[in-house]
Amino acid sequence: MSEPVRIVEVGPRDGLQNEKTPISVADRIAFIERLIGAGLPIVEVGAFVSPKAVPQMVGSAEVLRGVSHLPGEFHVLVPNEKGYEASQAAGAKVIAVFASASEGFSRANINCSIAESIERFKPVLARAKADGIKVRGYISCVLGCPFDGEVKPQAVVDVARTLWDLGCYEISLGDTIGVGTPVKARHLMRAVAGEVPAQNLAMHFHDTYGQALANLYAGMEEGVRVIDSAAGGLGGCPYAPGATGNVATEDVVYMLEGMGIKIGVDMDKLLAATNEVSRLLGRPPVSRVANALNAKKKL
Ligand code: HMG
Ligand code: MG
């Protein structure tokens, strides 16, 4: 359990993609600058998706160009070749394709079946390989689907294996609607790790039912060492009814530090990043740790 952990900060993408309040490109860049400054070197900064599907991510090219001088690894979502071309024009070096373990969510999110989505990703992965671009693979609804209900671990294993065989360097397992519980999360990680090495898996857990930290802990016990989280607990998917934010980066950092795992994050600076984006959004953060630390400051 003391092995190092890598955090992928997804606040500027997953966090902001579901917000009603539009956040300007300049404010998104400033948010990413603060996150990098707080010691989070891997940040998902945008998505090259249809502007009709997710208007919040319009301007992702400007955001990516605006942070490219910073020391960090910047990820962007790419659903198809059109998105790949836009990502390359903006200078993306790491992209993420996103599939689903359930047909209902695949259809709602990217308007195609799981099999069709894999066919769309094939040319993206082939071009990325030729261009020297790293590709991460997301799988949504790994512990339940808002449309299809229960999702069998085997369905997740099959998609994970396919994305791995196509050349994704890491497979991020998304509990999109945050319905998982620790024993199920553990079994899922064990099942997927039978096909994809545990060190190439990531956990992307939304905290809708307050189980995300416990689920992360269970996954860590299975050897998974990459955690996706969002500053302040921002997040949600416009195509996943009822889903709330990602597990909060503050909460993850607090738990890891409490376990003696050095993560290199300056909590004061992270809190400042969260407080500023919360001010822009006009509501307090969801993160328990952020709220506790803000309350302590006022004493
Ligand atoms: P479609 O309608 O089937 O696509 O959408 P299409 O190829 O028929 O094209 C329709 C229109 O979209 C055309 O424009 C295309 O040019 C345009 P029109 O002629 O109507 O003006 N288009 C694009 N524009 C910009 N960039 C592109 C692009 N592709 C087509 N890349 C599509 C299919 C996949 C494009 C659409 O459904 C889409 O963009 N979906 C994205 C949805 C999304 O971003 N969801 C949130 C991210 S996933 C998530 O949050 C889960 C995750 O966090 C993990 C977890 O928590 O589980 C990753
Ligand atoms: Mg997500």
80 lines ligand 1 (CB under 6 A): yes
Q: Which helix (H) or strand (E) holds 252?
A: helix 249-258
Residue 1 lies in a domain: no
Q: Which helix (H) or strand (E) holds 6?
A: strand 6-9
Residue 260 lies in a domain: yes
Query: Distance from the CA of 1 to the center of ligand 1, in angstroms?
Result: 38
CA-based nearest residue to 12, from 163, 235, 291: 235
Residue 154 lies in a domain: yes
Q: Among 50, 58, 148, 207, which residue has the most ligand 1 atoms within 8 Å of its CB, making it the best to mutate?
A: 50
pLDDT of residue 275: 98
68 lines ligand 1 (CB under 6 A): no
- Nearest-CA residue for ligand 1 atom 23 is 50
pLDDT of residue 299: 79
d(CA 158, CA 169): 16
Q: Which residues are catalytic?
A: 237
Residue 75 lies in a domain: yes
Residue 12 lies in a domain: yes
Handedness of CA 58, 61, 64, 69 (dihedral sign): negative
Q: What CATH number does the domain containing 54 carry?
A: 3.20.20.70
d(CA 188, CA 191): 5
Domain that holds residue 195: 6-298
Concatenated DSSP letters for 64-114? HHHHTTSSSEEEEE--SHHHHHHHHHTT-SEEEEEEESSHHHHHHHHSS-H
Residue 83 lies in a domain: yes
Q: Quick one: DSSP state of residue 282?
A: T
pLDDT of residue 22: 86
pLDDT of residue 2: 86
Residue 237 lies in a domain: yes
pLDDT of residue 159: 98
48 lines ligand 1 (CB under 6 A): yes
d(CA 241, CA 150): 15
pLDDT of residue 238: 79
How many Cβ atoms are within 10 Å of 241's Cβ, its own excluded? Answer: 11
Low-confidence ranges of the chain (pLDDT < 50): none
User: How many domains are there within the chain?
Assistant: 1
Neighbouring-strand partners of residue 206: 246
60 lines ligand 1 (CB under 6 A): no
Q: Among 13, 14, 17, 49, which residue has the most ligand 1 atoms within 8 Å of its CB, making it the best to mutate?
A: 49
The string of pLDDT tens digits covering residues 93-139 is: 999 999 999 999 999 999 999 999 999 999 999 999 999 999 999 99
Query: Distance from the CA of 39 to the center of ligand 1, in angstroms?
Result: 31
